[in-house]
């Protein structure tokens, strides 16, 4: 039933996610093209719908708050149309920082701001490794084994060889499927 205003909004969102699921196996370029031809008109229609509904729903109610949120952030939602590698939802990014958020209260009591900064760097390295399919333990060991042998840690081109997506890093630190 798509008769209530809330269900109409949900219906728009479901349509967008249904399209994205259908395109998940496409290349970034193919997904970009599909988004231009199919998702863009749907996003524009949803944007118009939000603008029209904003005058007929209570602004302080949950639906009004949701509609106002969509209107306020529509330019950011449209960013997904710029690159086929972007994701429609931020769920994966939110899951990635969940461990950090869960431990945040524990880290409030870091002995120093330097210690807190170090922890943030380590957590960023570990999460980036995980997102790139690396065994986090192997990756940290790889970095600790190889980086001290570098002549300079200021040479950004040399350091690129240690990023999680670098071919050699992938070869040595990939999560084993056995």
Q: Are 44 and 111 found together in one domain?
A: no
Query: DSSP letter at 176?
Result: P
Q: Which of 121, 133, 126, 123 is nearest to 166 (CA)?
A: 133
Residue at a domain's end among 48, 65, 89: 89
Q: Could you tell me if residue 178 is inside a domain? A: no
Q: Are 29 and 98 found together in one domain?
A: no
Q: Could you tell me if residue 103 is inside a domain? A: yes
pLDDT at 102: 65
Residue at a domain's end among 89, 112, 133: 89
Q: Are 81 and 68 found together in one domain?
A: yes
- Domain of residue 154 covers 94-173
Residue at a domain's end among 60, 89, 118: 89
**β-pair partners for 39:** none
Q: Are 9 and 85 found together in one domain?
A: yes
Pick out the chain residues at pLDDT < 50: none
Question: Phi and psi of 141, rounded to 5°?
Answer: -60, -40
Q: ∠ CA(47), CA(50), CA(52), 5° rounding?
A: 110
Question: Which region, left, alpha or beta, applies to residue 133 given φ > 0 means left and ψ of -120 to 50 means alpha?
Answer: left
Q: Are 159 and 127 found together in one domain?
A: yes
Q: How far is CA 73 from the centre of its chain?
A: 16
pLDDT at 111: 73
Q: Are 45 and 105 found together in one domain?
A: no
Q: Say how many domains are in the chain.
A: 2
Sign of dihedral through CA atoms 138, 144, 145, 151? Answer: positive
């Amino acid at each position: 039933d798509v008769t209530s205003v809330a269900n109409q909004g949900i219906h728009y969102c479901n349509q967008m996610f249904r399209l994205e699921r259908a395109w998940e196996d496409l290349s970034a370029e193919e997904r970009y093209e599909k988004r231009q031809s199919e998702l863009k008109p749907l996003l524009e229609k949803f944007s118009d719908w939000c603008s029209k509904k904003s005058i007929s729903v209570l602004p302080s109610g949950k639906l009004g708050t949701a509609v106002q949120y969509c209107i306020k952030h529509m330019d950011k939602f449209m960013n997904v149309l710029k690159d086929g590698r972007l994701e429609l939802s931020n769920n994966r990014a939110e899951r990635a920082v969940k461990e950090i958020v869960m431990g945040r209260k524990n880290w409030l009591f870091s002995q120093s701001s330097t210690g807190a900064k170090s922890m943030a760097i380590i957590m960023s390295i570990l999460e980036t490794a995980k997102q790139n399919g690396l065994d986090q333990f192997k990756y940290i060991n790889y970095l600790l084994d190889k980086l001290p042998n570098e002549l300079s840690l200021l040479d950004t081109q040399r350091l690129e060889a240690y990023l999680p997506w670098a071919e050699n890093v992938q070869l040595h630190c990939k999560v084993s499927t056995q």
